Amino acid sequence: MSTRQPILRAEDLHVWFDLPGDSELHAVQGVSFELRPGERMGLVGESGCGKTTTILALMGLLPASASVAGRVHLEGEDILAKGEESVSPHRWKDIAMVFQGAMNAFNPVKTIGSQIAEPMELHGTATGRAARAQVRELLELVGISGERAERYPHEFSGGMRQRAAIALALACEPHVLLADEPTTALDVMVQAQILELLVRLTRDLGLAMILVTHDLPVVAQVCDRAAVMYAGEIVEMGQMTTIYHDPRHPYTRMLFAATPDLLGDEDVLSIPGAPPRLDHEIVGCPFTPRCDSAFAPCPTAHPRRLEVAPGHEALCHLNDHLVAERPA
Amino acid sequence: MQRSDYILKRTLFALLTVFVAITLNFVLFRALPGDAVTGLKCHNCTIQFKNALRKDLGLDKSKWQQYVIYLKDLAHGDMGTTFISHRPVRGELWDPIKKTVAMIGLGTVFSIVFGIFTGVISAWRRGTVLDKVSVWTGLAFYSVPTQWLGLMIVYFVADRIGLPHGGIQSPDYGILGNPGTLDFLKDRIEHMILPALTLGLVLYGDYTLIVRSAMLETLGEDYVLTARAKGMSNWAIVWKHGFRNAMLPVVTLIALSLGFILGGAITIEYVFDYPGIGLAIVDAIDKRDYAFLQGAFLALTLSVILFNFIADLLYFKLDPRVTT
Ligand SMILES: Nc1ncnc2c1ncn2[C@@H]1O[C@H](COP(=O)(O)OP(=O)(O)OP(=O)(O)O)[C@@H](O)[C@H]1O
Ligand SMILES: [Mg+2]
């Protein structure tokens, strides 16, 4: 494992959304993790578990209806400390993202090239002719011919737009890339190409990346580490190989077991039941109703986060015996 | 499909529509019970006189022959002669149309400029007092009947700001020697302001609401969040990523509404006794002046087609996706 300082560190991150009628939705509930330079981490979980919300919180891009607590350190600096003022100088320059549904991330009435050049000009990394030259280079880098910079989004196929969105994220040479489901809505062949591209880019440019997906096998292919989210919490996190061979949370095990549907509808996970609603407090372990190994403490006590092995943590009562053996 | 083909296609389509409009204009007037001469009222309108007149106008020929003659005359720019003043319809139409176009032009510019301005601000500052005031003002002007607003302006505003209640020329105009061009313009514009304001306010209500909702929709798009993430300031986002996209539906709606205004300013012209095309049409209906009416309706139809065509071209200019 790398001993270098983490480039990105989230500490006890919480996000609440104000809902109409005085209620709140606790979308992210105490997420903490570290990302080291050059590392690829997968953030996995079912729809609605808070992946996008976590990513947007890291970027300081949540809507006004959201309140955030916790700290996010980017290269040692707390970028959420003073709200917009402290994030905006880093956003896109040091930490950039590929949006979920990046297909619509481009304005239909402006050329792709001008939109990729925009962040360069806004952050002053390149202007005018230099910016245009860089745009071409970036497009070539993601496998699009440089001449296509003058084209409009509707003239790009879905896969090309996704590539262009990646080029856009790389515009100011960030050190951290957050990719939110960059391959959803693409066909399998294109998916594989995009994943390969992301691996190549992170390796060649020394980028650290968080890859958000609800497809654990994809993470297994691409990432060094994985964090599994359920109901706003990271329920298991560790090296990819460890998690694969020795999952310590039933949810992780069931995610691996849930193979993609043969009919091609890969969004369907075959874990019975649905995740709990997050707009009221959950007593006990939120996974209890769907868990195949639930026992006495599960419905009443929230499990503790335990390091089950070095660099491998899980949030499940099944691991409680470790505490008895090893006094904390 | 090539983008350049689009203009050709739109042009051909517009021309075809013009042809259909001309034909319909012919057919509708022949489909009315009676003909141009039947309703004519005068002291010496005996049967013999009317028959002679029919022959004179070519109404004794078959409908098909009449249609061919109508097309031929139109092609030469000849729209016939008015029944009452016996002058060419074209000239008789042109004068009131000029006056109406000047008046609604003024009102429209007012409404577009202010409508877009407050619509954008209102969307940008959604939910604030400013937004609420703007929406309610817009709704009020949008829902008020035009003639009522006109009357209120005549009663309560005209005298206070010293503008004429109606007409198009001051009674004392030209009495003291020959007025110069400047005096003429000043007099005309003074008479135009209040009717133009009335129209402008009503249209303003319409436009500001449309612009606001188009803008709100655009500001919710994914690419707006992208722009924010890239580091763009709020105002730059509104201007560079919101405005042009929001203008797409707005341009079409405005152009379409403009096409109809030429004929739709009748109530305003009536209230302000402004001698534009609307009043001329009312007058011609009173006098059963078929030739004039036929010409006027054709002109109004052509204006709708023209503005549709302009809307198509603008859309083409603004939206790179348009190809068909
Ligand atoms: N703007 C918002 N206002 C209110 N609730 C929100 C908002 N955005 C997200 N949520 C809620 O927060 C929770 C987490 O949503 P989030 O989009 O982060 O999930 P996700 O893991 O990214 O899911 P998906 O795989 O569908 O993208 C969900 O319950 C969602 O309904
Ligand atoms: Mg998401």
Say which range, A35-44, A75-84, A295-304, B70-79, has the weakest mean pLDDT: B70-79
Domain of A194 in residue numbering reads as 8-94+174-325
Is A137 a member of any domain?
no
pLDDT value at position A260?
A: 58
Q: What mean pLDDT comes out for the span A100-114?
A: 89
Judged against a pLDDT cut of 60, whether residue A3 lies above it is answered with no
Among A52, A67, A181, which is best to mutate for testing ligand 1, by the most ligand atoms less than 8 A from CB? A52
Rounded to whole angstroms, how far apart are CA atoms B134 and B129?
8
Cβ contact, residue pair A59, B229, below 8 Å: yes
pLDDT over 80 at A268, yes or no: no
Residues of chain A contacting residue B318, judged by C-beta atoms under 8 Å apart: 109
Domain assignment present for A200: yes
- The residue-averaged pLDDT of B86-101 equals 88
Confidence check: pLDDT of B100 > 60 = yes
User: What was the pLDDT predicted at B287?
Assistant: 84
**Is residue A111 assigned to a domain?**
no
- Give helix B277-286 / helix B89-124 axis angle, nearest 10°: 130
Q: Is residue A70 part of a domain?
A: yes
SS3 category, A166: helix
Quick one: average pLDDT of A281-306? Answer: 92
Q: Per-residue pLDDT averaged across A264-286, rounded? A: 79
Q: Does pLDDT of B44 surpass 80?
A: no
- Among the residue ranges A2-6, A308-312, B304-308, the one predicted with the least confidence is A2-6
Q: Name the band, by pLDDT with cuts 50, 70 and 90, for residue A259.
A: low
Above 50 in pLDDT, residue B22? yes
B211: β partners: none
Inside any domain, residue A224:
yes
Q: Does B221 touch chain A (CB under 8 A)?
A: yes
- Whether residue A328 is predicted with pLDDT greater than 50 in this model: the reply is no
Cβ A123–B231 below 8 Å, yes or no?
Answer: yes
Superfamily of domain B91-319: MetI-like (1.10.3720.10)
Q: How confident is the model at residue A326 (pLDDT cuts 50, 70, 90)?
A: low
**Residue A44, domain member (yes or no):** yes
ipTM of the complex: 0.85
Which tens digits make up the pLDDT trace of B291-301? 898 899 999 89
Between residues A183 and A268, which one has the greater pLDDT? A183
- Across the range B263-276, mean pLDDT stands at 87
The model's pLDDT over A173-202, given as tens digits with 9 standing for 90+, comes to 999 999 999 988 788 888 889 999 999 999
Q: What confidence score (pLDDT) does residue A186 get?
A: 81
Chains A & B: contacts with CB separation below 8 Å: 62
**Ligand 1 close to Cβ of residue A99 (< 6 A):** no
Average the pLDDT over B246-255 and give the result.
87
| Residue closest to B3 by CA, chosen among B286, B324, B220 | B324
Q: For ligand 1, is residue A214 a contact (CB within 6 Å)?
A: yes
Least confident of B94-108, B162-176, B183-197: B162-176
pLDDT of A264: 53
pLDDT band at A263, cuts 50/70/90? Answer: low
Mean pLDDT of B42-58: 77
Cα(A52) to ligand 2 centroid in Å equals 4
Q: How far, in Å, CA of A83 to CA of A69, rounded?
A: 11
Q: What is the pTM of this model?
A: 0.83
pLDDT of B43 > 70? The answer is no
Query: Considering chain A, what is the average pLDDT of its residues?
Result: 89
Contacts with A, B 247-286, CB within 8 Å: 248
Which H or E run contains A252? helix A250-257
When the pLDDT of each residue in chain B is averaged and rounded to a whole number, the result is 87
- Whether residue A234 contacts residue A228, with contact meaning beta carbons closer than 8 Å, is answered with yes
Ligand 1 pocket check for A53: Cβ under 6 Å: yes
Residue A291: Cβ-neighbour burial (10 angstroms; 0-12, 13-18, 19+): buried
SS3 call for A203 = helix
Q: Looking at the domain assignment, is residue A283 inside a domain?
A: yes
A266 — pLDDT class (breaks 50, 70, 90): low
Is residue A194 situated within a structural domain? yes
Model confidence over A48-93: pLDDT tens digits?
Answer: 999 999 999 999 999 989 999 999 999 989 998 888 888 989 999 9
CB B229 within 8 A of CB A91: yes
How far apart are the CA of A121 and the nearest CA of chain B, in angstroms? Answer: 10
Q: What's the rounded mean pLDDT across residues A232-256?
A: 93
- The reply to whether B127 touches chain A by the CB within 8 Å rule is no
Q: CA–CA separation, B118 vs B112, rounded Å?
A: 10
Worst-scoring range by mean pLDDT, A164-173, B24-33, B143-152? B24-33
Residues B88-107 have a mean pLDDT of 89
Q: Identify the pLDDT of residue B58.
A: 77
Indicate the pLDDT class of residue B114, thresholds 50, 70 and 90.
very high
Token readout for B298 is 């054709």
Higher-scoring residue by pLDDT: A158, B180: A158
- Asked if the C-beta of B229 comes within 8 angstroms of chain A's C-beta atoms, the answer is yes
Query: In this model, does residue A265 exceed pLDDT 70?
Result: no
Q: What is the CATH number of the domain that holds A311?
A: 3.40.50.300
The radius of gyration of chain B's CA atoms, rounded to the nearest angstrom, is: 24
Number of domains in chain A: 1
